[in-house]
């Protein structure tokens, strides 16, 4: 009899090797290799193409699924992120750190839909789920809860119940009897996901899978899961803040530029349709060191307040600290201000903060950060009806940024009086708006127009 063979699979990247090693040779992570027994049962020969009875179909004869997308009425954010609604037969993976609100989001979705939904939980008991449902004050007669971790049972129940949507919370707790390794291992996750995919495609049922994130931040450990599923969403945010961002990482049926914004309230997640209003502190009080940036998150314009504090340094070594913004970029902006505008920060501590715990990588935020820095240095407040969108170059020039039209329209819609942008924008400047567009080429012009 042949000896049962085993191999070692990396839980991080899915690489399989024959001998155990302390470090994965592929992703260089330590202590991620786990043993897996290789199934010795001979694989059945694949049926030939002739026996499947499938024949090519003309592309123009295929009925588009666009009409059959299910829009989620009370959740425009999720609808947008999915590219216009839930696609039948699509398999969606939702990843995020523990406690971010994945189960809450999925339960809300399950209760909002008028159709029959099967919510499978391997993490919580039915009673615990009921408690959460009570908390989010959602009542539904169409949501069925199944506390089960065995994949074959889940599929059997699903086939019996014939729900119009299947939710799995979470993939790491589900186990198939076909694979010997424990729940959460690479081969289990892979097997369970492909079984669920088979189910989704053969019954045209949309399936949502919750996946935990590894400590390195990659989704559900092995990258290979991302290849199997149709849509990958990431739920992120700082747990100390109430904002949550649902980001599309992959979408076979829509754009990956979309984001959804939620607020975690005591009664569940509330979709935020106008995030800019939340990210700008209310009141007309004039405070120095703050200004408003017109940034983009994905394809969505977002007006964010940037705050700077420039204070006399008590130690010989001045501090630089930025929250939500790259520290090195802050140093670069300070260097440009020193060199090109003769503003000296070397004797000052500089602190920078973006409202709402949001992290921005859009370079268009530079201009607003520079304005806040100068405002704090000189202690001159900037009018709250002014906003900024421009990237700063190393020689102090204000550079053009992408999608300027959207940024200006959003600022105008929110009632801003003036927007400062680069003079190098050749097109895309909307006309007939109430907002005054100030085009500048150099930082010195900004100082002249605002601080003198």
Q: Which of 238, 251, 248 is nearest to 359 (CA)?
A: 238
Among 28, 135, 227, 252, binds ligand TYD (CB under 6 A): 135
**Closest separation in Å from C-beta 267 to ligand TYD:** 5
**Closest separation in Å from C-beta 300 to ligand TYD:** 23
Q: For Mg ion, how many residues bind (rule: CB under 5 A)?
A: 1
Contact 296, 362 (CB under 8 A): yes
**Closest separation in Å from C-beta 42 to Mg ion:** 39
Q: Which stretch binds ligand TYD (CB under 6 A): 9-17, 72-80, 259-267, 374-382?
A: 259-267
Q: Which stretch binds ligand TYD (CB under 6 A): 97-105, 109-117, 382-390, 430-438?
A: 97-105
Among 32, 103, 290, 422, binds ligand TYD (CB under 6 A): 103
Angle subtended at Cα 42 by Cα 38 and Cα 46, rounded to the nearest 5 degrees: 115
Contact 302, 276 (CB under 8 A): yes
Residues between 78 and 117 with contacts to Mg ion, criterion CB under 5 A:
103
- The C-alpha atoms of residue 260 and residue 445 are separated, in whole angstroms, by 36
Per rule CB under 6 A, is residue 264 in the interface with ligand TYD? yes
Q: Count Cβ atoms within 10 A of the Cβ of residue 313 and give its class: 0-12 exposed, 13-18 middle, 19 or more buried.
A: middle
Q: For ligand TYD, how many residues bind (rule: CB under 6 A)?
A: 15
Per rule CB under 6 A, is residue 100 in the interface with ligand TYD? yes
Per rule CB under 6 A, is residue 132 in the interface with ligand TYD? yes
Q: Which residues of 290-310 are buried (b: 16+ CB within 10 A; e: fewer)?
A: bbbbbbbbbebbbbbbbbbbb
Per rule CB under 6 A, is residue 266 in the interface with ligand TYD? yes
Among 89, 101, 289, 324, binds ligand TYD (CB under 6 A): 101
Contact 129, 107 (CB under 8 A): yes
Among 22, 42, 56, 98, binds ligand TYD (CB under 6 A): 98
- The C-alpha atoms of residue 217 and residue 259 are separated, in whole angstroms, by 18
Q: Which stretch binds ligand TYD (CB under 6 A): 175-183, 260-268, 300-308, 328-336?
A: 260-268
Q: Which of 277, 126, 50, 451 is nearest to 118 (CA)?
A: 126
Contact 291, 368 (CB under 8 A): yes
Residues between 394 and 413 with contacts to ligand TYD, criterion CB under 6 A:
none
CA quadruple 383, 384, 385, 389: dihedral, nearest 10 = 100
Positions that interact with Mg ion (CB under 5 A): 103
Positions that interact with ligand TYD (CB under 6 A): 96, 98-104, 132, 135-136, 264, 266-268
């Amino acid at each position: 009899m042949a000896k049962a063979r085993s191999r070692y699979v990396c839980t991080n990247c899915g690489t399989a090797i024959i001998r155990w090693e302390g470090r994965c040779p592929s992703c260089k992570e330590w202590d991620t290799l786990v043993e897996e027994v290789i199934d010795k049962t001979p694989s059945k020969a694949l049926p030939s193409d002739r026996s499947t009875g499938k024949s090519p179909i003309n592309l123009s004869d295929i009925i588009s699924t666009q009409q059959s997308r299910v829009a989620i009425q009370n959740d425009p954010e999720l609808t947008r992120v999915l590219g216009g609604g839930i696609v039948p037969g699509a398999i969606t993976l939702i990843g995020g750190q523990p406690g971010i609100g994945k189960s809450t989001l999925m339960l809300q979705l399950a209760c909002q839909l008028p159709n029959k939904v099967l919510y499978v939980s391997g993490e919580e008991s039915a009673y615990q789920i009921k408690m959460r449902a009570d908390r989010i004050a959602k009542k539904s007669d169409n949501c069925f809860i199944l506390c089960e971790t065995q994949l074959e049972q889940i599929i059997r129940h699903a086939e019996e119940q014939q729900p119009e949507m299947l939710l799995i919370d979470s993939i790491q707790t589900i186990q198939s009897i076909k694979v010997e390794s424990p729940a959460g291992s690479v081969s289990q996750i892979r097997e369970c996901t492909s079984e669920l995919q088979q189910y989704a495609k053969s019954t045209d049922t949309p399936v949502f899978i919750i996946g935990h994130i590894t400590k390195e931040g990659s989704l559900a450990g092995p990258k290979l899961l991302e290849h199997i599923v149709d849509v990958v969403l990431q739920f992120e945010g700082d747990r100390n803040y109430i904002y949550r961002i649902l980001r599309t990482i992959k979408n076979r049926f829509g754009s990956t530029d979309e984001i959804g914004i939620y607020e975690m309230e005591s009664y569940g997640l509330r979709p935020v349709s106008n995030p800019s209003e939340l990210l700008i502190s209310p009141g007309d009080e004039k405070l120095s060191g703050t200004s408003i940036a017109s940034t983009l998150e994905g394809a969505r314009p977002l007006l964010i307040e940037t705050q700077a504090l420039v204070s006399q340094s008590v130690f010989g070594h001045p501090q630089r600290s930025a929250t939500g913004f790259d520290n090195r970029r802050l140093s670069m902006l300070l260097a440009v201000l020193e060199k090109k505008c003769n503003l000296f920060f070397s004797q000052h501590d500089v602190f920078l903060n973006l409202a709402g715990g949001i992290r921005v990588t859009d370079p268009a935020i530079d201009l607003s950060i520079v304005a806040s820095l100068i405002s704090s240095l000189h202690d001159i407040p900037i009018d709250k009806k002014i906003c900024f969108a421009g990237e700063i170059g190393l020689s102090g020039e204000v550079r053009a940024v992408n999608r300027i039209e959207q940024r200006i329209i959003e600022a105008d819609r929110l009632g801003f009086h003036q927007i400062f942008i680069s003079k190098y924008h050749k097109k895309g400047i909307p006309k007939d708006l109430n907002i005054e567009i100030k085009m500048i080429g150099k930082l010195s012009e900004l100082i002249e127009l605002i601080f003198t």
